[in-house]
Amino acid sequence: MKLDSNNHSVFLLHYHLVLIVKYRRSVIDDNISDYAKGKFVSLGKKYNISLLEWNHDEDHIHILFKAHPNTELSKFINAYKSASSRLIKKDFPQVRKRLWKEMFWSRSFCLLTTGGSPIDVVRKYIENQGIK
C-alpha cells in the first residue's frame, strides 16, 4: 500500500460517494456516465481529488476516490453536483425533458470513508449490504 504525502504529512484517505438522480429518474446511460466522470476528474484536480473507480446504474453513481487532508469535501461535492447538473442538462436534451426545472442530482448524497480498503473489499461490503 502506497501512502500519499505532502510537505508535512503522510496520509491515505479513500472515500466512497453515492450520488442519486433527483426523483430517482432513470436517465443515466453510458454516455451520460462517461460525461459526468470526465467532469469529476477535471474538477477533482482543482481539489486534490483523484478518481479510483466509477460505476453507475440508471438512477445513481458510485465513485471511489482519494483526497488530501486539506480538501474541503463538501465544497467539492456541491461544486461538482452544481456544475455537472447544469452541463448534463445543457448537453443531453433527453435529460432536460425529464428534469425540466430541477437539478440533475438529489440534494442529498452519501459519503463513506473506506479506510484505505482495497476496492475488492469495498465491493464485497456493498454487495453484502444490498446497497445499489
The predicted-structure confidence for 10-21, as pLDDT tens digits, reads as follows 888 999 999 999
Please check whether residue 5 lies inside any domain of the structure: no
Residue appearing with cell numbers 486539506: 70
Q: Which residues contact 7 (CB under 8 A, 6 or more apart)?
A: none
Please check whether residue 111 lies inside any domain of the structure: yes
Beta-sheet strands, E only, within the chain: 4-5, 10-11, 13-21, 49-56, 60-67, 105-113
Whether residue 129 has pLDDT greater than 70: no
Contact present, 16 and 111 (Cβ < 8 Å): yes
Please check whether residue 3 lies inside any domain of the structure: no
| CATH assignment of the domain containing 106 | 3.30.70.1290
Please check whether residue 49 lies inside any domain of the structure: yes
Please check whether residue 59 lies inside any domain of the structure: yes
Q: Which residues contact 73 (CB under 8 A, 6 or more apart)?
A: 15, 67, 111
Please check whether residue 7 lies inside any domain of the structure: no
The alpha-carbon radius of gyration of the chain (Å, integer) is 15
Residue appearing with cell numbers 481529488: 49
pTM for the full model?
0.83
Could you tell me the residue range of the domain that residue 30 belongs to? 13-129
Q: How many domains does the chain have?
A: 1
Please check whether residue 121 lies inside any domain of the structure: yes
61-114 pLDDT tens trace: 999 999 999 999 999 999 999 999 999 999 998 887 777 677 889 999 999 998
**How many angstroms from the chain centroid is the CA of residue 18?**
6
Ramachandran quadrant class, 109 (left: phi over 0; alpha: psi -120 to 50; beta: rest): beta
Q: Copy the grid coordinates of residue 11.
A: 496520509
